[in-house]
Every structure is written in C-alpha cells, then in structure tokens.
C-alpha cells in the first residue's frame, strides 16, 4: 500500500448529546487522524443533524477550509426543515462540500417520502453522492424501521446516476442481507462499515458477498474510536489490493476526493 493514504468515509463532529463522547470536536478528530495515519475524513456534523443545515452547514464548511484538505463535509438534509434545501443549494460548489447526508431514523421521515425528492434531484444534477444511515428492524429502537436498506430502492431506481452509500452496512440482522442485495443489484450503491456492527470475520464475509470495490472504511467517530474498525481491516484475511480499495480508493471514487 505504498504511496496511498487512508480515508475515513464516515465521521462526525460535535457532541451527539445522546451518549457520552469524551472527544468530539474537529481538533480531536484531526489528532486521531494524525496518530493513526488517516489522511482525510468525510464528515457530517451533529449540529446540522439535530438543528438543521440552515445553521450548521456554513460552520462545517469553514472547518473544512481551515483543515487544509484533511476534512471534507457532507451537507445534512432534514426534510422537515424548510431551511435545509436552500442552505445546501446556496453552497453547492463550495470547496470541501462533497456530498449529502440523510438520516431518516433521526428525522422520522419515510425514505420513500416525496419530501426527499428535492435532495435526490439536487444530488443528481450536481454529481453529489448521498450517504444515508441504514440499519435493521429493531424491537428496542423502533425508529430504525425508517432506514432499512430496501426502502432506498424507490429513489435509487428514479435517480440511477446518484451514488448511494448505505452507512453501517445495513446494521445487524435482516438489514445486512438487504444491503448485500442492494449492492449486488445496483451499480451505484455502496456501503461503509462505520458503527458497532461487530461480528466475527466481518470484512472477509463482506468481501465474499459483495465486491470489495463497493466497501468503504468508516469509523463513526466520535461514537467509536477509529481503531476499532481500522484494525479489523488491517488484520482481515483479504488481499492487500482489497484493503487499499476499502481504505482509500473507493472513497476517492464515490466522493471525488483528489
């Protein structure tokens, strides 16, 4: 893996306010990146997720600019907030903005809802990928029903040029199987391994089920320490080329990172 660098394709800044996270600002993120040899992080901010991009996006883009190419931003779209779409549209083309983030579970909105149509159209018109939270049906967390992978098929069929990343590999249980089906059915669908989807031989089993070219490394910082998922890739019994795809090249392709 000479002359390569690691891209963490799923991070956040700001405290999530749900669980205790001792390190969560951009300086904490960059310090960990330096320690672990991560050159670039692709980031959405919790401020925008909870309060809207109308307030948060400009702040995130300033952080991207000040990071000198270390942090790239995803604009969060909450379909319930009238200010999000104009805030994103106004900043299309700004340095550091490389995609859109949606989170139907947090925003309690059906992913097939017409309220998501404008952001899919905007993504298609501007060659921007969409990263979405995805997970399995959960009895103890019912809101996950908004984000099961098959529910994004509605807009994938309508906008086949948009690159969709199913975050968290569909979660645990049935969501994992639906993620696999989606990736193998649609050439514009990818997945990342961010989050606490801990199971034996995760990387090896994913590479057996879907092309390595469709898997991205993600840490889910600050929810998890990047070492948790980074180590799984380093120690996995897949080819060096497969590791380079997952750690770098796939994220470069999806998010158009130079």
Q: Are 123 and 158 in contact (CB under 8 A)?
A: no
pLDDT of residue 110: 98
Burial (Cβ within 10 Å: 0-12, 13-18, ≥19) of residue 188: middle
pLDDT of residue 1: 46
pLDDT of residue 4: 59
Whether 89 maps to a domain, the answer reads: yes
The stretches in the chain having pLDDT less than 50 are: 1-2
| CATH number for the domain that contains residue 168 | 3.20.20.140
> DSSP string of 94-107?
-TTEEEEEE-HHHH
Determine the structural domain holding residue 62 and report its residue range.
Answer: 6-255
pLDDT of residue 200: 87
pLDDT, tens digit (0-9, with 9 covering 90-100), for 144-156: 999 999 999 999 9
Whether 1 maps to a domain, the answer reads: no
pTM metric for this prediction: 0.96
Whether 76 maps to a domain, the answer reads: yes
Whether 231 maps to a domain, the answer reads: yes
Domain count, the chain: 1
Q: Are 141 and 106 in contact (CB under 8 A)?
A: no
pLDDT of residue 2: 46
């Amino acid at each position: 893996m000479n002359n390569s660098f690691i891209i963490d394709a799923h991070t956040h800044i700001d405290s999530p306010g749900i669980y205790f996270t001792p390190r969560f600002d951009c300086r904490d993120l960059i310090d960990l990146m330096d320690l672990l040899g991560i050159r670039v992080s692709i980031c959405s901010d919790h401020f925008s997720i909870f309060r809207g991009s109308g307030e948060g996006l400009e702040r995130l883009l300033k952080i991207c600019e000040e990071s000198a190419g270390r942090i790239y931003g995803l604009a969060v779209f909450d379909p319930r907030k009238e200010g999000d779409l104009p805030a994103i549209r106004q900043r299309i083309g700004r340095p550091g903005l490389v995609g859109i983030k949606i989170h139907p579970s947090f925003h309690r909105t059906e992913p097939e809802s017409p309220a998501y149509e404008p952001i899919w159209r905007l993504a298609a018109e501007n060659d921007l990928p969409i990263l979405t939270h995805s997970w399995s049906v959960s009895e103890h967390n019912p809101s996950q029903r908004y984000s099961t992978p098959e529910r994004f098929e509605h807009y994938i069929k309508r906008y086949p040029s948009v690159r969709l990343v199913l975050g968290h590999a569909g979660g645990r249980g049935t969501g994992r199987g639906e993620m696999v089906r989606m990736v193998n059915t649609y050439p514009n669908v990818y997945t990342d391994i961010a989050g606490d989807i801990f199971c034996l031989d995760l990387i090896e089993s994913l590479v057996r089920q879907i092309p390595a070219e469709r898997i991205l490394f993600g840490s889910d910082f600050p929810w998890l320490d990047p070492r948790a998922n980074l180590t799984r890739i380093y120690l996995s019994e897949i080819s060096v080329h497969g590791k380079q795809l997952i750690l770098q090249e796939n994220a470069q392709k999806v998010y158009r990172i130079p």
